[in-house]
Amino acid sequence: MSGRLSGKRAVVVGAGQSPGDTEGNGRAISRIFSEQGAALLLVDRKGESARETASICAGEAHVLEADVVDLDAGDAIARAANELLGGIDILVYNVGVGDRYDGPSDRLTEEAWDRILGVNLTGARRCFGACLPVMRQSGAGLIVAISSLAAIAPSTMFAYSVSKAGLDRLVQSTAYHEAANGVRCNAILPGLMQTPMAIEGQSLRRGIPRDDLIAERAKAVPMGHMGTAVDTAMAALFLASDEARFITGVLLPVDGGSSVKIA
Ligand SMILES: NC(=O)c1ccc[n+]([C@@H]2O[C@H](COP(=O)([O-])OP(=O)(O)OC[C@H]3O[C@@H](n4cnc5c(N)ncnc54)[C@H](O)[C@@H]3O)[C@@H](O)[C@H]2O)c1
């Protein structure tokens, strides 16, 4: 298949999605990478959701059910990628969770802190650690991590924002150390997006009707509307393509101007 990712082997971790009316970031990234010619390994703790993603992909798409919290998850992913795709050119770490018990330190529970840091940050380190040797073997590779504007903006979700700030540092340290090995590493920082994780998730957590939440979030964005998962996926596609071959260590906001407003 021809396309901007023709011949590339991509692993998308967090390739399923939360239930809802719109497309999630992981599903959109997988769909668009597939349309652009990449062969895919779709990883998610919810195998059924990853299989739904595979069903809308245009080409080769394998599914691995794995939870990044498991100690051997990174190794299992690298092994499956070697066996099914013959290597890894692109790793997308899209997994990210919030928790209703996240908040300022007087409200934040130990369990919420451990869960969020474990999934969003430790899981990423584990996947990077296991996949990097496979990329180094071919002398080239790319990691894209889906971070969040919460990494650089004031947030009441302490654990979530700390996990994403940590992820950004992991990305930049990896970029620096892997540059000589031909491996690039970048992060995307989505702002206010219209995805199931954000809309259906928050509407439930905060007890706000869906339409009111959408209007509130749209008003907060300088461009006057939220982004979609396709906006995140297009940024990932650019970073994954050869057009971005000299770009590494970048934290790219995809946010309709929200980060400029914060600054
Ligand atoms: N949607 C937004 O508004 C928004 C804004 C900023 C950042 N982000 C970031 O974007 C990323 C995800 O967006 P999305 O729309 O695809 O979310 P999503 O919830 O729809 O998809 C995430 C997928 O990750 C999977 N997952 C969760 N924990 C896992 C684990 N322990 N092991 C394996 N898989 C696991 C889920 O099953 C789900 O299929 C996250 O990193 C999130 O922090 C989203």
Give the mean model confidence (pLDDT) for residues 234-248. 97
Catalytic (active-site) positions: 160
pLDDT at 1 over 80: no
- Structural domains of the chain, count: 1
DSSP three-state, residue 134: helix
**Averaged over 210-236, what is the pLDDT?**
97
> Does 241 sit in the ligand 1 pocket, CB within 6 Å?
no
Domain that holds residue 20: 9-194+228-250
* Assigned token pair, 134: 């496979």
Report yes or no on 223 lying in a domain: no
Q: Which tokens sit at 175?
A: 């970029």
Which atom of ligand 1 is closest in space to residue 67's alpha carbon?
Answer: 32
**Residue among 12, 44, 205, 213 whose CB has most ligand 1 atoms within 8 A, to mutate:** 44
| pLDDT surpassing 80 at residue 2 | no
How far apart, in whole angstroms, are the C-alpha atoms of residue 65 and residue 88?
A: 18
Q: Tell whether 126 is covered by a domain.
A: yes
Ligand 1 atom nearest residue 16's Cα: 39
Residue 219 lies in a domain: no
Residue 153 lies in a domain: yes
Q: Is the CB of 190 under 6 A from ligand 1?
A: yes
Classify residue 148: in a domain, yes or no: yes
pLDDT classification of 105: cutoffs 50, 70, 90: confident
Please tell me the least confidently modeled range out of 18-22, 29-33, 62-66, 204-208: 204-208
pLDDT of res. 263? 73
- Which residue has tokens 């620096």? 176
Per-residue pLDDT band for 62 (boundaries 50, 70, 90) equals very high
Residue 104 lies in a domain: yes
In order of 107, 148, 161, the CA distances from 152 in angstroms are 21, 8, 8
Percentage of the chain modeled with pLDDT above 70: 100
Tell me, using a 6 A CB cutoff, whether residue 197 lines ligand 1: yes
Q: What confidence tier does 132 reach under pLDDT thresholds 50, 70, 90?
A: very high
Q: Is 68 in the pocket of ligand 1 (CB under 6 A)?
A: yes
49 domain residue, yes or no: yes
- Residue 262 in this model has a pLDDT that exceeds 90: no
Helix, strand, coil proportions of the chain in percent (round to 5)? 50, 15, 35
**21 or 17, which is more confident?**
17
149-189, pLDDT tens digit by residue? 999 998 999 999 999 999 999 999 999 999 999 999 999 99
Closest CA to 64 of 115, 29, 12, 114: 12
Q: Compute the average pLDDT of residues 99-126.
A: 96
| Residue 69 belongs to some domain of the structure | yes
With 90 as the cut, is the pLDDT of residue 204 above it?
Answer: no
> What CATH number has the domain bearing residue 142?
3.40.50.720
